Amino acid sequence: MPVFAVAAVLGPTQTLNVGEVLRGRFTEDVQLADSMGKSLHTEGQFVLAPDYGLIWKIERPVPFTFVFTATGMTQFLGEIRLMHQPASKLPALARVMALVSSALAGNWSALEKDFVVTRSGRPQHWQVKLVPRAPAQSELPFSSLVATGGRFVDQVETTGMKGGTTKFVFKDQTIAVLPPVAAELALFNSN
């Protein structure tokens, strides 16, 4: 039975089942409201394993890795562990993790408690817009999120509370039936 099931006809046609792992690459472009057209560009890879958490590995311009699990968040610079924040010190972490995991897996129904969810498009090219409800509005750094895709989520764009945008583009996404590999397990266990 899928852990992340598609809530409606519109959304990713590929679902993530128990024991599976979603891997892919990403680019992230952040444009701050007062940046005068300049943006920060990063790129890297991600691993989403619902039984473990999320690994967000930035490769360029600086090798940063963020590991998010139910117990907290750990940050690495290359192979050097910089810090660990337990979930108890990051109250919004659980909400953000649920958002990221549900968005990447297209589980929009899991988000309807905290967001107004609007779907449009067709199965091969769909769009979902999320607008935070109270109290999520005060806990999240964006006023809206728009996800688009087909088989998977291909792009996510957020609009910040004070303006500015962040655009994520996902590619080369695959689902593996095998558990995380040893290096990924080591990162998950670092929390």
The CATH class that applies to domain 2-189 reads mainly beta
Closest CA to 84 of 179, 188, 183, 184: 188
The predicted pLDDT at position 50 comes to 83
The pLDDT averaged over each successive group of 10 residues in the chain (191 residues) is: 40 74 94 76 94 93 93 92 88 72 74 86 87 77 87 89 88 91 92 76
Q: Please give the model's pTM, rounded to 2 decimal places.
A: 0.83
| Rounded Cα–Cα distance for residues 34 and 148 (Å) | 26
Place of tokens 């990713």: 12
Q: What is the pLDDT of residue 37?
A: 67
What pLDDT, on a 0 to 100 scale, did the predictor assign at position 25? 97
pLDDT of residue 4: 37
Each domain of the chain, given as residue ranges in start order, spans 2-189
Instruction: Name the one residue in this structure whose structure tokens are 């999520």.
Output: 136
Q: With the CA atoms of 35, 38, 44 and 47 taken in that order, what torsion angle do they form, in degrees rounded to the nearest 10?
A: 40
Query: How far is 103 from 107, CA to CA, in rounded Å?
Result: 6
